[in-house]
Homo-oligomer: A and B are copies of this chain.
Amino acid sequence: MKIAILGYGNIGRAAEQAIKAAPDLTFAGIYHHNDCLDNLDADAVLICTPTREVHQFAAVLAARGICTVDSFDIHGQIWDLREALEPVCVAHKSVSIISAGWDPGTDSMVRALLMSMAPKGLTFTNFGPGRSMGHTVAAKAIKGVKNALSMTIPLGTGIHRRMVYIELEPAADFKTVEAAILADDYFAHDETHVIAVESVDALNNVAHGVNLVRSGVSGDTHNQRFEFNMSINNPALTGQVMVSAARAAVRMRERGEYGAKTMIELRPIDLLPGTKQALVKALV
């Protein structure tokens, strides 16, 4: 299977390594945002652009019968993206796997699995410690902020603390900037601490984590408890999940299962290299 990459930021670079490490995949090159895609020759393309550009690129590629994988991460718009790409994929016999990162993505698969094991109950997804891209961008947009890093700290039951590290512009007043951050809609609803530092760059770290817990009921038996934890390099995991999803996409296209799919619509075995027999014997 030939896999190409569109976009070459942190995730694109990590995805390249994951393709090259896979025994069954061939790296079909990097494409940049403004490159002509007419001669692109690949079974699948990993769309590693900013999330708001996913739709346009996925639609163009799917219409050429090329499978796509993205890590579109706006939770409230995932179903709409699926609905938009589904008819394009069906009409042009391609498969687009959307929101194939770790959340949305593999965490979604874990949430679905835990729901199947204990249908009644509560699941809490606790993120971090790790950098929140959305909150970091929001903090950078505040007047007087030269650079920022917003860390997400898990407090349990899906509640998070925001630790916002900022470098101030020379003329800026810390108390004024702090008040503006605390009033911003991104931060106003969570416990938030603003800390002035000399160098945000000195703090940067792509580590992230998840603690996903469910307590629920199997049949009429309560107190069934489940927990999924991970401590990971964020772009490395996202790139790897996209590559594994690309393998599933190409296999689904070969079987004629065209359409746009989220990760909970994939068979775990399709994510992995090797024969069914070897995988069942090794993993089941």
Nearest CB in chain B: distance from A193 CB, A: 27
Is there contact, CB below 8 Å, between B218 and A14?
Answer: yes
Residues of B contacting A241 with CB < 8 Å?
Answer: 116-117
Cross-interface CB contact of A280 among B78, B273, B280, cutoff 8 Å: B78
Residues of B contacting A17 with CB < 8 Å?
Answer: 219-221
Chain A 120-135: CB-based contact to B (< 8 A → 1; otherwise 0): 1000000000000000
Residues of B contacting A99 with CB < 8 Å?
Answer: 284
| Given A112-B272, A221-B14, A283-B112, CB of A229 within 8 Å of CB of B232 | no
Is there contact, CB below 8 Å, between A218 and B230?
Answer: no
Residues of B contacting A112 with CB < 8 Å?
Answer: 268-269, 271-272, 279, 283
Chain A 194-229: CB-based contact to B (< 8 A → 1; otherwise 0): 000000000000000000000001111101111111
Is there contact, CB below 8 Å, between B111 and A283?
Answer: yes
Report the Cα distance A113→B230, complex, angstroms. 13
Is there contact, CB below 8 Å, between B240 and A232?
Answer: no
| Given A264-B269, A280-B262, CB of A18 within 8 Å of CB of B219 | yes
Residues from 221 to 270 in A contacting B, C-beta threshold 8 Å: 221, 223-233, 236-237, 239-241, 243-244, 262-269
| Stretch binding the partner chain, chosen from A32-40, A101-109, A137-145 | A101-109
Report the Cα distance A227→B209, complex, angstroms. 11
Is there contact, CB below 8 Å, between A226 and B227?
Answer: no
Residue of B nearest to A103 (CB): B284
Report the Cα distance A22→B116, complex, angstroms. 11
Q: How large is the interface on A (under 10, 10 to 19, 20 to 34, 35 or more residues)?
A: 35 or more
Report the Cα distance A119→B15, complex, angstroms. 13
Residues of B contacting A243 with CB < 8 Å?
Answer: 219
- The CB with the most chain B CB atoms within 10 A, among A20, A217, A221, is that of A221
Report the Cα distance A106→B284, complex, angstroms. 9
Residue of B nearest to A16 (CB): B219
Residues of B contacting A176 with CB < 8 Å?
Answer: none
Is there contact, CB below 8 Å, between B264 and A236?
Answer: no
| Given A112-B268, A112-B271, A227-B229, CB of A104 within 8 Å of CB of B284 | yes
A residues neighboring B (CB under 8 Å): 14-18, 20-22, 75, 78-79, 82, 99, 102, 104, 106, 108-113, 115-120, 217-221, 223-233, 236-237, 239-241, 243-244, 262-269, 271-273, 276-277, 279-281, 283-284
Other contacts beyond A118-B237, A227-B229: 11, CB < 8 A: A18-B218, A20-B219, A82-B280, A109-B268, A112-B272, A115-B271, A219-B239, A226-B229, A229-B229, A264-B284, A265-B269
